[in-house]
Amino acid sequence: MSRFSPFAPTDIEMATPAPHSLKPQLRLIGPGDNASGGYDVAEAFRHFSAYVAHIATRILGREDDIDDLVQDVFCEAVSGLKKLREPAAAKGWLATVTVRMATRRLRLRRLRLALHLDAPVEEVAWPGASPEQSAMLARVYRRLEKEPARHRIAWILRVVEGESLETVAQVCSTSLPSVKRWIRGVQDRLAEEGIVNVG
Amino acid sequence: MSDEQNKMQILFAPVEPDWSPGRSARIASRIDRRLNRSPLRRWFPLSFGLAAVGALAFWFAVGTLRGPAETVLRFDDGSVVTPLSVASRVERLEGTDPRVGVRIRGGAVHFAVTPNPERIFYVDAGPVLIEVLGTDFTVSPGSSGTRVAVEHGRVRVRWSTGNAILVNGESGTFPPRETRAVQPEIIPTTEPIVSAESNSETPVKAVRSRSVANRVAWKSLAQSGRYEEAFVELDKSVRHFGGTSVVDGAEALLLAADTARLSGHPTQAVPHLRELVRRYPRDPRASLGAFTLGVVLLDELGRPRDAGPAFALSRKLAPRGDLVEDAWAREVESLFRSGDSGNARRMAEQYLKLYPSGRRAPSVRRFGSM
């Protein structure tokens, strides 16, 4: 199970400082409170905002939308987290919401691309990446841009993030056979373009 | 895929947000502000009523809005039912094995049903009822009928006076226009969905009745060599009724493929040819269909990797047919062009062993690098 698995124990925390500006009145969790197993938004943000930003960055392939997406996810968390019966499920729930919101953004981006309102993926100089690595990443993301949003996300979660197929199916809200087919399809098309080898 | 996974994980390692404490605090502050807006400020944007409604309609049209995660239905066998818009309403119907039912009360819904021949999964979409073995498909109820689009697998759509079977990539709007006036209740039956082979002529019966005019039009135009006009008529039917359901019979599928190909639309020939070999594998024209599919993929669409299996199928469907040597030679060429020179050479050696002085020997030697 990868470090970022939504189903990893919730005590694997990201190095994120406490967001003191989240006020106490945002503690809206569950029938009880933290003592009875609830989970509040401030706590969720402290533990998982870096995680949400990480998977969003991997999926979207650029940083310019990340802040808005993280903001949207945690605004939805205010009402969503209180419905969770099991606090340990918070991370998985946040992953699902992140994937859903990233899907919307990817679809919107495809539409904008079709209407020439957005530019295709450009090479991003990721810190720590060699020029060749950055060029290859841009090539992969350019190919992924042509894939349906959910197929792209399933491939990223499985191949790049190393999540189990069951986890990917759950996060993408689809069945296991569909996820397998989506991932294989993306893999085949990347192989056709010589970006990956078929394994 | 593990080696490939390792490579990808190394490649993507630098793709990380620059998540500094300052950035985190900034976002937290923005969330805080957004959540603490006064009710008036929070709802103020909605005062732009028309703009908001327009934007929503646009989002609905492009299918970008998803229902809340809580409305996704999950079944014990792994089947998943996902509402595709905020207007989608779906509920699970009470029932006992071997039937599992879902009712759509509005909006588009996607189904990913795990294959299970032991039970019948059905969808009650008002005037139509959809039965499925294992498949992915989307149901979109609308004022002009219920649109069913099958991504993968096979479903049967039943309405008051008929039924149709849709398979991979096919779609259609049901019930057919002339039957919409009469809508008695449809009772799901326990009759199983029959296999493709035994039901080859019945699936599109009802759809067929709607398309008589179009079928006559495109066929007669094609038979008189007016392929471009024929393609226009054929394309209208395909768009209106979905998939290849407007074309029945091996001869008609071959003619439809020729119409597409000879009017300069090779891509549209592919589904007709695939349907021909899938639906009528025992028909004497199936081998020709597979061979033509290979030619279209190799010569007209530049897809040698897909063309090879089509030529192989052509040989398999008629091992003693007139086309067998040609199919063999074109398969060697496809393998060569797709970069698989090892298998191209192996196939070439086999050909020369079987047909030492075969009429395609020069081509086979060339593409087999011999």
pLDDT tens track for B115-145: 777 777 888 887 788 888 667 788 888 777 7
Mean pLDDT value across chain B: 74
Phi, psi for residue B137 in degrees, rounded to 5: -155, 165
Count how many Cα atoms sit within 13 Å of the Cα of residue A169 in the half-sphere of its side chain.
19
Q: Which of B80, B115, B152 sits opposite A173 (nearest CB)?
A: B80
Q: What number of other Cβ atoms are within 10 A of residue B187's Cβ?
A: 7
Residues 127-146 of B with CB under 8 A from A: 134, 136
The region of weakest confidence among A56-65, A165-174, B37-46, B260-269 is B37-46
B114 vs B55, more confident: B114
For residues B157 and B138, the answer to whether their CB atoms sit within 8 Å is: no
- The pLDDT of residue A36: 37
Instruction: Please state the rounded mean pLDDT for residues B199-212.
Output: 39
Residues 17-46 of A with CB under 8 A from B: 17, 19-23, 26, 45
* Full-model pTM: 0.41
- The pLDDT of residue A101: 92
Taking contacts as CB-CB distances below 8 angstroms, the residues of chain A near B69 are 80, 93, 96-97, 100, 173
Distance of CA B272 to the CA centre of its chain: 13
- The pLDDT of residue A183: 93
Taking contacts as CB-CB distances below 8 angstroms, the residues of chain A near B4 are 159, 187, 196-197, 199
Pairing of strands B99-106, B120-125: parallel
What's the one-letter identity of residue B248?
A: D
Per-residue model confidence as pLDDT tens digits over B316-333:
888 887 788 888 989 998
- The pLDDT of residue B210: 42
Q: Which residue of B has its CA nearest to A78?
A: B35
Residue B242 pLDDT grade (very low, low, confident, very high; cuts 50, 70, 90): low
* B154-159 sheet: strands from edge to edge: B89-93, B99-106, B120-125, B128-132, B154-159, B162-167
Q: Which residue of A has its CA nearest to B32?
A: A22
Per-residue model confidence as pLDDT tens digits over A152-179:
999 999 998 888 899 899 888 889 999 9
Per-residue model confidence as pLDDT tens digits over A105-130:
888 888 877 777 766 666 677 777 78
End-to-end CA distance of chain A: 20
Residues 115-154 of A with CB under 8 A from B: 126-129, 133-134, 136-137, 140
Q: What percent of chain B has pLDDT over 70?
A: 72
- The pLDDT of residue A30: 33
The region of weakest confidence among B6-10, B140-144, B360-364 is B140-144
